A and B are shown apart, each in its own frame.
Chain A
Amino acid sequence: MCALKIKKGSSSHSAYQLRNPMGDAIETHTLAVIVDNEPGVLARVIGLFSGRGYNIESLTVAEVDHLGHQSRITIVTTGTPQVIEQIKAQLNRMVPVHEVHDLTVEGPSVERELALIKVASTGDKRVEALRLADIFRASVMDTTLESFVFEITGTPEKIDAFVDLMRPLGLVELARTGVAAMLRGKRAEASAQL
Chain B
Amino acid sequence: MTRQMTGAQMVVQALKDQGVDTIFGYPGGAVLPIYDEIFQQSDIRHILVRHEQGAAHAAEGYARSTGKPGVVLVTSGPGATNAVTGITDALMDSIPIIVLTGQVPTFMIGTDGFQEADTVGITRPCTKHNWLVKDTEKLAETIHQAFHVATTGRPGPVLIDIPKDVQFATGTYIPPKKARTDHYAPRIKGDTQMITALAEALEQAERPIFYTGGGVINSGAHACQLLRELVDATGFPITSTLMGLGAYPASGKGWLGMLGMHGTYEANMAMHDCDLMIAIGARFDDRITGRIDDFAPGSKKAHIDIDASSINKVVHADIPILGDVGHVLEDLLKIWKSRGRKTKSAAVRKWWQQIEEWKAIDCLAYRNSDKIIKPQYAVQRLEALTSGMDRYITTEVGQHQMWAAQFMGFEEPHRLMTSGGLGTMGYGFPASIGVQIAHPKALVINVAGDASFLMNMQEMGTAVQFNLPVKQFILNNERLGMVRQWQQLLHGERYSHSWSESLPDFVKLAEAFGARGIRCQDPADLDDAIREMIAHDGPVIFDCVVEKHENCFPMIPSGKPHNEMLLGDASTEGAIQSDGAVLV
Contact = CB atoms under 8 A, between A and B. Distances in A.
Contact of B579 (A18, A39, A95): A18
Given A10-B316, A18-B579, A43 B292 contact: no
Interface in B151-199: 153-154, 183-187, 191
Nearest to B295: A12
Nearest to A85: B312
B311 A4 contact: yes
Contacts of B579: 18
B309 A93 contact: yes
Interface string B128-139: 110010000000
B149 interface: yes
A16 B312 contact: no
Contacts of A18: 291, 559, 579, 582-583
A20 B244 CA distance: 32
Nearest to A9: B316
Given A43-B121, A44-B124, A1 B186 contact: yes
B298 interface: no
B304 to A, nearest CB: 12
Interface of A: 1-4, 6, 10-14, 16-19, 36, 39-40, 43-44, 47, 51, 82, 85-86, 89-90, 92-96, 98
A13 B129 contact: no
Contacts of B132: 39-40
Contacts of A96: 129
Interface in B518-575: 559
Contacts of B183: 36, 98
Contact of A3 (B124, B185, B191, B312): B191
A86 B583 contact: no
Given A1-B186, A4-B308, A93-B309, A12 B124 contact: no
Please give me the 5 A-B residue pairs with the lowest Cβ-Cβ distance, nearest first: A89-B309, A95-B129, A89-B308, A12-B292, A90-B309
Given A16-B292, A92-B308, 5 more contacts: A13-B314, A43-B121, A82-B312, A92-B309, A95-B184
Dominant secondary structure at the B interface: loop
A40 B186 contact: no
Contacts of B559: 18
A96 B312 CA distance: 23
A3 to B, nearest CB: 7
A1 B322 CA distance: 10
Contacts of B309: 86, 89-90, 92-93
A20 B547 CA distance: 42
B38 interface: no
Contacts of B582: 18
A1 B153 CA distance: 11
Interface of B: 120-121, 124-125, 128-129, 132, 149, 153-154, 183-187, 191, 286, 291-293, 307-309, 311-317, 320, 322, 559, 579, 582-583
- Residue of B125, B307, B583 ringed by the most chain A CB atoms within 10 A: B125
Contact of A1 (B125, B128, B191, B308): B308
A85 B312 CA distance: 8
A70 to B, nearest CB: 11
Contact of B308 (A39, A40, A93, A98): A93
B510 to A, nearest CB: 41
A53 to B, nearest CB: 13
Query: Helix, strand, loop or mixed for chain A's interface?
Result: loop
18 contacts: A1-B185, A1-B186, A1-B308, A3-B191, A6-B312, A10-B312, A10-B316, A12-B316, A13-B314, A14-B292, A16-B292, A43-B121, A43-B124, A51-B125, A89-B309, A89-B313, A93-B308, A95-B129
A16 B293 contact: no
A152 B307 CA distance: 43
A4 B320 contact: yes
A190 B311 CA distance: 25
Contacts of A89: 307-309, 311, 313
A52 B559 CA distance: 22
Given A3-B322, A4-B322, A86 B292 contact: no
A49 to B, nearest CB: 11
A47 B125 contact: yes
Contacts of B149: 95
A140 B523 CA distance: 90
A175 to B, nearest CB: 28
Contacts of B186: 1, 93
A4 B322 CA distance: 7
B187 A1 contact: yes
Given A3-B191, A18-B559, A90-B309, A40 B314 contact: no
Nearest to B292: A12
A39 B187 CA distance: 26
Contacts of A36: 183
Contacts of A1: 185-187, 308
Contacts of A3: 187, 191, 322
Contacts of A90: 309
Nearest to A98: B183
A137 B198 CA distance: 57
Nearest to B191: A3
B577 to A, nearest CB: 10
B308 A19 contact: no
A19 B582 CA distance: 13
A193 B286 CA distance: 44
Contacts of B191: 3
A2 B472 CA distance: 46
Contacts of A98: 183
B317 A13 contact: no
A47 B123 CA distance: 11
A6 B317 contact: yes
A122 to B, nearest CB: 47
A43 B125 CA distance: 10
